[in-house]
Amino acid sequence: MSPSPDPEPSADGCVLPTAAAAPADIIAALLAQIAAQQALITSLQARVAELERRLGLNSGNSGKPPSSDGLKKPLRTQSLREASGKQSGGQKGHPGETLRRVETPDATIDHFPQTCAACGMALSEAAATDFSARQVFDLPEPRPLVVTEHRAHRCRCATCGEQTRAAFPDCVTAPVQYGKRIGACLLYLLHYQLLPEKRLATLMADLFGVKLATATIARISQDCARRFQGFADAVRGHVAAAPVKHLDETGFRIGGKTQWLHIASTLLLTFYRTSPKRGSLLSEVAGIVVHDHWKPYYTLTGVRHALCNAHHLRELRALIEIEKEDWARQMQRLLRRACYVTNLARDRDVALNPRLIALIDRGYDAILAEGFAHHDAQAPLLGVADKARRRGRPPRRVGHNLLLRLRDRKQDALRFLTDPSVPFTNNLAEQDGRMMKLRQKISGGFRSTEGAEEFAVLRTLISTARKQGWDLLAALTGQPDNLVAELRIT
């Protein structure tokens, strides 16, 4: 008996049974090939769905930053917030910033007509009967720097003949130097308006005729950061002990490597610090911590948590737009309405009605139940064979993961309902961190750790001064101990 020929592969790589094979073997081989092809198709369909989902994500329906949208940035036609019913623009009672006349102008220029508009006869200033006035507000002409010379005189004692020289002020340390006001202006432009050092030097030369080297600007920044280090430490302590604080972190390029800038803030205080590790969390924290559900925050001890619902609304929007899950639409509507009624009660300085809280709570649970039922009815992401080969927890859909978070962290997600001091979102910390990313876009990061730490200290001072309502230039020229004593905590 001659041996049966070896099976030959088909064009798609599958092995076809030979004609000599038994019919049962042929059928079994074909069924195995069909099953393998069906598994491959299912896997590819899941892969395509995942890639399509990624393409559909943007800053409006995920945690991606707006800068990642590029030229495909979607038009903002819908807000994550519930409609308030108010017209856009300034509301009644809002203090305006309209330019207003002053009673005593700095200069007055009189204009008289030369001839009569009716008969053309010459007119003189003595013929003036009344006038109309208009005021123009403008910047004064740039003036040269005011140079103040400090003279420390020596005096001879009439009793012993010893000569004693007066001491110079603490701020006068060199034979020739710039004063504190020009230093404050430099720091404001450098660390708040985020001008790079070279452009800042050009600006000072063009507008004020002050020619500065970039090394001089860097030295002024270093000296000021050392002077206000104690102020930053005091702010850190106040934020850590505050009843409610917001925490966030963002990547920071330092020395050519990605490190981290940590933000801890309240309505009146902002504290920045740099760290090579993202998980280097603020220590000795008490009270309520508002964050975006980054899991290491749950390792903090002795605190309660409140989750950022702006993140939840963005994730729900993605489930609505891409996965078309109806429970997500219902949850989005519930959270928006809960935010609206909470803000309304806070504006009226009244507590939210307990029956309304209970109604929102029941609706929340009902929507979660509907969401879990929807996902339980879906086919598993992995087949039986794939489950056997895969280790660990089987993969879950994005919507299922969000459902689990909203269920397991329900108290943290809805804490804003029962505690008026807890906001609906973590936008405060995100706003305090937004300009940090702009700083990195403009200058590309920091060359050294020392430079990044100086920036964190001075930005702590400037951001806190704005929240406190201080004059920024006065704060930058003030005494750190005096500023610490003036801090409003609540």
In tens, the pLDDT along 113-170 reads 999 998 989 998 888 889 999 999 998 888 888 899 999 999 999 889 899 999 999 8
Residue that wins the pLDDT comparison between 77 and 349: 349
Beta bridge pairs of residue 246: 265, 290
Q: Which stretch of DSSP H or E encloses residue 403?
A: helix 398-408
Residues 319 and 411 in one domain: yes
pLDDT > 70? residue 63: no
Residues 334 and 413 in one domain: yes
The rounded Cα 438 to chain-centroid distance in angstroms is 10
The CA R_g of the chain, rounded to the nearest whole Å, is 34
pLDDT > 90? residue 455: yes
Confidence (pLDDT) at 27:
84
As a whole number, mean pLDDT of residues 12-29 equals 65
pLDDT > 70? residue 79: no
Residue that wins the pLDDT comparison between 287 and 58: 287
Residues 333 and 404 in one domain: yes
Q: Which of 3-7, 287-291, 411-415 has the lowest mean pLDDT?
A: 3-7
Confidence (pLDDT) at 134:
92
As a whole number, mean pLDDT of residues 31-53 equals 79
Residue 212 lies in a domain: no
DSSP state for residue 196 in the 8-state scheme:
-
- Residue 33 to residues 15, 27, 230, Cα–Cα distance (Å): 8, 10, 72
pLDDT > 90? residue 445: no
Q: Which of 73-82, 321-330, 335-344, 362-371 has the lowest mean pLDDT?
A: 73-82
Residues 335 and 408 in one domain: yes
pLDDT > 60? residue 6: no
Beta bridge pairs of residue 274: 261
Residue 70 lies in a domain: no
As a whole number, mean pLDDT of residues 381-395 equals 62
- Which residue reads 């937004």 in tokens? 434
Beta bridge pairs of residue 154: 165
Residue 47 lies in a domain: no
Percent of the chain clearing pLDDT 90 (strictly above): 57
Structure tokens that stand for 147 in this block: 């140079």
pLDDT > 60? residue 15: no
Q: Among residues 416, 417, 437, which one has the least CA distance to residue 426?
A: 416
**Using 50, 70 and 90 to split pLDDT, how confident is the model at 84?**
low
Please provide the size of the chain in residues. 490
Q: Which of 3-12, 105-114, 369-378 has the lowest mean pLDDT?
A: 3-12
pLDDT > 50? residue 226: yes
Beta bridge pairs of residue 164: 155
pLDDT > 80? residue 65: no
Beta bridge pairs of residue 122: 115
Q: Give me the domain span that covers residue 340.
A: 309-387+395-418
Q: Alpha helices, DSSP H only, in 102-194?
A: 180-191
Q: Max CA-CA distance within the chain?
A: 137
As a whole number, mean pLDDT of residues 104-116 equals 92
As a whole number, mean pLDDT of residues 208-213 equals 89
pLDDT digits (tens, 9 = 90+) for 336-385: 999 999 999 998 999 999 999 999 999 999 999 999 999 998 877 765 55
Residues 268 and 313 in one domain: no
pLDDT > 60? residue 387: no
**Using 50, 70 and 90 to split pLDDT, how confident is the model at 392?**
low
Confidence (pLDDT) at 435:
86
Residue 27 lies in a domain: no
pLDDT > 60? residue 292: yes
pLDDT digits (tens, 9 = 90+) for 246-284: 999 988 889 889 999 999 999 999 999 999 998 888 888
Residue 173 lies in a domain: no
Residues 323 and 413 in one domain: yes
As a whole number, mean pLDDT of residues 15-40 equals 74
pLDDT > 60? residue 9: no
As a whole number, mean pLDDT of residues 179-198 equals 92
Residues 232 and 320 in one domain: no
Q: Which of 165-179, 317-331, 374-388 has the lowest mean pLDDT?
A: 374-388
As a whole number, mean pLDDT of residues 25-29 equals 82
Residues 269 and 328 in one domain: no
pLDDT > 80? residue 87: no
Residues 322 and 371 in one domain: yes
Number of domains in the chain: 2
Residues 247 and 332 in one domain: no
Residue that wins the pLDDT comparison between 109 and 13: 109
With a CB cutoff of 8 Å and minimum separation 6, the contacts of 445 are 252, 253, 254, 256
Confidence (pLDDT) at 145:
86
**Distance in angstroms (rounded) separating the CA atoms of residues 24 and 192:** 79
Residue 159 lies in a domain: no
Confidence (pLDDT) at 54:
73
pLDDT > 60? residue 298: yes
**Using 50, 70 and 90 to split pLDDT, how confident is the model at 1?**
very low
DSSP state for residue 86 in the 8-state scheme:
P
